[in-house]
Chain A
Amino acid sequence: MTLPKSSIAGLLIALFCLPVSTLQAKTLCVFSLVGAQGDLWEQMRDYQVAAAGEGEAFSLRVFTDERVAAEDLKAGFCDGLMMTGIKARQFVPFSGSVDAIGGLQRYQSLEIMIRLLADPRLSESMRHGAYETAGILPMGAAYLFINDRSINSVEKMAGRTMAVFDNDRAQMLMAKHIGVRPELSDVSNFSSKFNNGVVDVVAAPAVAYLPLELYRGVGVKGVVVKMPTAQLTLQLVMRHDRFSSDFMAWSRRYFAQQFDRAMTVIRRAEEDLLFFYPPPDKDRPRYALMMNEARTFLVESGVYHRETMALMKKVRCKIAAQRAECGDGSQW
């Protein structure tokens, strides 16, 4: 069977007219400490299938080292990367500020925020330089894991050692602010430092508890403070020249719809936390005050995107209008 000459010419023209990037196979990279398995990996596999239905085909590549994955995104070896919101902040500060310390306390607030960020009216803000955020998933609230229950107030944390992520200026500033000694760490080694007693305090989500064996660090004398210091997220950041605006918008809506699925995993993980106590009754107002002060201090230090912080305040006040901040006229 032979094709007519006009058809061959048409195919060739169509082929030459396609941008080079479209012809290259696309790769989406996924940062996952547990490798190509587990809930996140399954979610990304499902996303891959759903995206194919939208006409976008790509392969998935897993990284267990977030730093290497981020470098590959910058170098163009990854067309997109699913990474922690803390890491994503350097690519898209607007959406990367969702993980702000003291930003959102409740999962209900986070869900509203993620749906808001998937609104097409905010699509411009989701783009920064060569990058665009194409989806946000909840990773769970960050709680303080402490190896000694007698460290039960902000004052008693002063002088203790805390693991802070070297890629997060916010944590470093926060540590100095409350007087703890920062121990520079990263996602791959903070848990071993805690479990081996090198540091007294770490902040982590419940989903890290079993895989990273944080119960060993808490032991029988420690505590996990049931008060979110931040709402951690996973964010898919893509090179926006590699995907259409329509696909990006679809992708943000897709991930917003996956909120409940991700929350099932988080709630299950929180059920497992042992010695998971709220702050002592007398210290609860002071912890809340500390979170508010931390947020303001970090916004004013230029760590977080001011527009995001203003949006987050609106969300907080929508959920709990009785909060003192809701009538104080402050921006964030």
Chain B
Amino acid sequence: MAVQRRLVAVFFVLLCSRLWADEGSVWVERYTQAMKAQDSAALAELIADQATVAVTLTLGPQEAPMVVTLTRAEYLQQQKALWRFAAGQTIVISDVQQTVGDEGLSLSLHQKEAYQLFGQTFQQESDIVLTLQRFQGRYQVAHIRTRSRQW
């Protein structure tokens, strides 16, 4: 009997992980599409209203990194402003990994972007960690941590 209960529990854990993993893959796919299409409305749908975005900007070998916390609105505004001014976007998302934890699904990915901005080339390389949670029946990002280098 005890063995059966354990088997059922293991089955549910595996099922949940599988479902989470599916949600994670779907989220990454939608995120990639939104970023490539520069679709701010689609990007906004992926992020929960109360989400916070912790940005760590590395400023070169001599400087301590700058840590800035943005609200969802501030994060989306920045992305939109960048798309407004920039041309010739290239974006590559790689190294996607998923981990199921107490807070939900954690996704990590590497993002490399390049733009033409004010006559110069602007490049950004970021290691991003996202926590996905269920809000009102939808999986959205509750928290974003990004460590970026810009040049």
Instruction: Give chain A's interface residues, CB within 8 Å of chain B.
Output: 149-150, 152, 215-216, 219-221, 226, 270-282
Contact = CB atoms under 8 A, between A and B. Distances in A.
Interface in B37-77: 55, 57, 59-60, 63, 66-70, 74, 77
B81 A220 contact: no
B122 interface: yes
A310 B37 CA distance: 51
Contacts of B80: 271
B150 A220 contact: yes
Contact of B74 (A219, A226, A274, A280): A226
B94 interface: no
Contacts, number: 55
Given A149-B57, A220-B117, A274 B68 contact: no
A280 B70 contact: no
B112 to A, nearest CB: 16
B10 interface: no
B33 interface: no
B82 interface: yes
- A interface: dominant SS: loop
A278 B74 contact: yes
Interface in B118-151: 118, 120, 122, 150
Interface residues of B, number: 23
A276 B55 CA distance: 13
A272 B82 CA distance: 9
Given A219-B120, A281-B68, A274 B59 contact: no
Interface centre among A226, A271, A277 (most CB of B within 10 A): A277
A83 B114 CA distance: 42
Contacts of B63: 150
Given A149-B57, A216-B118, A219-B118, A278 B68 contact: yes
Contacts of A220: 117-118, 120, 122, 150
A280 B65 CA distance: 10
Contacts of A152: 59, 66
23 contacts: A149-B57, A150-B60, A152-B66, A215-B85, A215-B118, A220-B117, A221-B150, A226-B74, A270-B77, A272-B84, A273-B81, A274-B78, A274-B81, A274-B84, A276-B74, A276-B77, A276-B78, A276-B81, A277-B68, A277-B78, A278-B68, A280-B68, A282-B67
Contacts of A276: 74, 77-78, 81
B118 to A, nearest CB: 6
Contacts of B78: 274-277
Given A279-B68, A280-B68, A281-B68, 5 more contacts: A149-B57, A152-B66, A277-B55, A277-B78, A278-B70
